[in-house]
Amino acid sequence: MFLTPAVAVRSAFLGSVFATGFYFATFDDSCHVFGLYAMAFSMFHFSEFLSVALTNPRTLTIDSFILNHSVQYWVAAVGSWIEAAVENYFFPNMKTAFWISHIGVVMCIVGEVMRKSAMFTAKTNFNHHVQTVKRPDHELVTHGVYAICRHPSYVGWFYWSIGTQIILLNPFCIIIYTLVTWMFFKERIFAEEMFLISFFGNQYLEYQKKVGTGLPFIKGYIPDEDGSW
């Protein structure tokens, strides 16, 4: 899987996007924010594949780039590009507040560090998909970044996604991304924790009591409140 043509094509594509972004971010002020975004976007997807390859190669597939995450993901991405292009055409001065854009860069870096730390800490216990069946070697990870929050990979992606829109100085997409991503993780965490409780029982319930999800106003699946445990 490491050296297949499909992997090579995607890696070359992401590398080209990063290099192009670096050029514009460094040498063209009129495209500075677009260059920063291209670098953040390409690095995120390449590092996802690389992290899985290093920590959980058994699950490594071409989908580990998560370039085909979902139709909704690409609708959101294209929507942000359209907003950025339209605003840059009609209101070019909107895209020159570089200090704000750089705050987005910091958010993306922090988000990436959080997410990749989660992947390297969990190792084979991490998966891009919600697990509905417990594997014999599946362990509950509560150390490292998992001692800070229960879902560090989601926390990282949440702030990375918002950071990309701050980089682009997209006022509308900043709001939309925040709301939509929050709703997505609220539902995903609720569903995932139902399975985690069925896998680990009281061990996970005690973990819930000590550590929060890490995302604002998201408590996850609490059996006592649901009345089903």
pLDDT digits (tens, 9 = 90+) for 56-113: 999 999 999 999 988 999 999 999 999 999 999 999 999 999 999 999 999 999 999 9
Q: Give the pLDDT of residue 195.
A: 98
Q: How far apart are alpha carbons 154 and 196 in whole angstroms?
A: 16
Compute mean pLDDT per 10 residues along the chain, 229 residues long, and list them.
86 98 97 98 98 96 93 95 97 96 99 99 96 95 98 99 99 98 98 98 97 98 68
**108 with 167: CB under 8 angstroms?**
yes
CA distance 24 to 30: 8
**5-226 maps to CATH 1.20.120.1630:** yes
Question: What pLDDT does residue 224 have?
Answer: 76
Classify residue 185 as exposed, middle or buried by CB count within 10 Å of its CB (0-12, 13-18, 19+). Answer: buried
CB 104 within 8 A of CB 153: no
Helical H runs in the chain? 5-27, 32-55, 71-90, 98-122, 152-167, 171-200, 202-210, 223-226
CB atoms within 10 A of CB 102: 15
pLDDT at position 225, please?
Answer: 65
Using a cut of 0.85, tell me whether the model's pTM lies above it.
yes
CB atoms within 10 A of CB 170: 26
Are 10 and 65 within 8 A, CB to CB? yes
**Burial of 64 from C-beta contacts in 10 A (0-12 / 13-18 / 19+):** buried
Torsion sign over Cα 167, 170, 175, 180: negative
**By C-alpha distance, which of 156, 130, 139 is closest to 51?**
156
Question: Side-chain half-sphere of 59: how many Cα atoms within 13 Å?
Answer: 21
Residue 223 is predicted with a pLDDT of 87
CA distance 222 to 155: 19
User: Which amino acid is residue 73, in one-letter code?
Assistant: Y
Specify burial of residue 188 (Cβ count, 10 A radius: 0-12, 13-18, 19+).
Answer: middle
